[in-house]
Amino acid sequence: MLKVNNLCKSYKNGEIEYEVLKGVSLNVKKGELVAIMGPSGSGKTTLLNCISCFIPVDRGEVLLEDIDITKVSEGELSKIRNKKLGFVFQDFMLLDGLSVFENICLPQIISDSEVESMEKRANLLIDVFGITHIKDKYPAEISGGEKQRTAVARALINDPLLILADEPTGNLDSKSSKSVISAFQDAKKNLGATILMVTHDSFAASFCDRVIILKDGVVYKELCRQGDRIKFMDQLLITIKEMSGESNEN
């Protein structure tokens, strides 16, 4: 479904060039829930922005269903972003003047879809994520967890191939974080969604099928969850400790 090959990206600051991604390769299979972890500043957001082509890459490929989207035209790219990708951000990015229901419908309103099928899909998502009771409320009237579940529903309205989420639980307390992770799990189980999520939270990552850890611009390690979540979380914590230990020795 998603294949990233040898992705390189540097930022220029005046004369100084700083290479953030030094050849990142990864893949995500259909129906997987995958987390990307790594220290602050390790390039997680840069990687997501390169995958969605919000910023240009220096080298490498981003294959979405075998199409290298780093090479398509701007017009083609906006279609792909609207139809094939769904986005969830740390700060929710809901429109304050629209109700929960209207926010969820927004990507379909933009793509000029038929009203009846749009409302049917929106109601299905509201049901899956348990937010029926707030559908007519406005963002200012709901909790952080409810805002993010609304954002997850919005990301799924166009039935995208892939959801990209950058620190979706970053602004939430642990209970709300759990409810957002549950929303991703429900999306995977009930809607067949494929999700790639950046997080620095081992608790959130431990619910994923696989965790890709970035360090110094490359993939440091990839861990697959086998069985028990608590064991997986311990394994993640050990790996992260090991990694920061190595950094301290340098």
CB proximity list for 69: less than 8 A, separation 6 or greater? 53, 62, 63, 77, 80
Distance CA 131, CA 209 (A): 25
Stretch that binds ligand ADP, among 40-48, 57-65, 84-92, 148-156 (CB under 6 A): 40-48
Does position 11 interact with ligand ADP (CB under 6 A)? The reply is: yes
From Mg ion, ligand ADP, none, interface partner of 107 (C-beta below 5 to 8 A by class)? none
Looking up tokens 């999306």, which residue turns up? 187
Binding segment (CB under 6 A) for ligand ADP, from list 39-47, 82-90, 129-137, 156-164: 39-47
Contacts of 89 (CB under 8 A, 6+ apart): 151, 165, 166, 168
Calculate the CA 231 to chain-centre distance.
24
Q: Work out how close the CB of 45 gets to Mg ion at its nearest, in angstroms, rounded to a whole number.
A: 3
Site for ligand ADP in 41-80 (CB under 6 A): 41-46
Q: Is 98 exposed, middle or buried (0-12, 13-18, 19+ CB in 10 A)?
A: middle
**Which of 5, 27, 45, 123 contacts Mg ion by CB under 5 A?**
45
Cβ-closest position to Mg ion: 45
- By CB under 6 A, is residue 38 in contact with ligand ADP? yes
Task: State the residues that interact with ligand ADP by CB under 6 A.
Answer: 11, 13, 20, 38, 40-46
